[in-house]
């Protein structure tokens, strides 16, 4: 991930792909992700994503991995 693209759009595509790999979120779920979907659990010091899936009608809980904190 140290490679620098000449086009800013390609850097965003790469970042979304890596974020998707770490969280398991589909592209449409990343596209509709908002700050209010991110929650902090003070008991264990971790961040979670809580949002409804776009393709299914159920609420999902995704755990952030430590590597993604730069996003």
The tens digit of pLDDT for each residue in 34-48 reads: 999 888 888 888 888
The burial of 25, by beta-carbon neighbours within 10 Å (0-12 exposed, 13-18 middle, 19 or more buried), is given as: buried
> Would you state the pLDDT for residue 60?
65
Mean pLDDT of 11-36: 89
> Would you state the pLDDT for residue 66?
57
Residue 30 host element (H or E): helix 27-31
Helices then strands, each counted (H, E), the chain: 2, 3
């Amino acid at each position: 991930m140290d490679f620098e693209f000449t086009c800013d759009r390609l850097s965003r595509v790469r970042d979304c792909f890596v974020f998707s790999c770490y969280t398991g979120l589909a592209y449409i779920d990343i596209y509709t992700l908002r700050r209010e979907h991110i929650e902090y659990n003070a008991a264990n010091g971790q961040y979670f994503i809580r949002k409804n899936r776009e393709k299914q009608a159920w609420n999902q809980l995704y755990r952030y991995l430590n590597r993604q904190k730069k996003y």
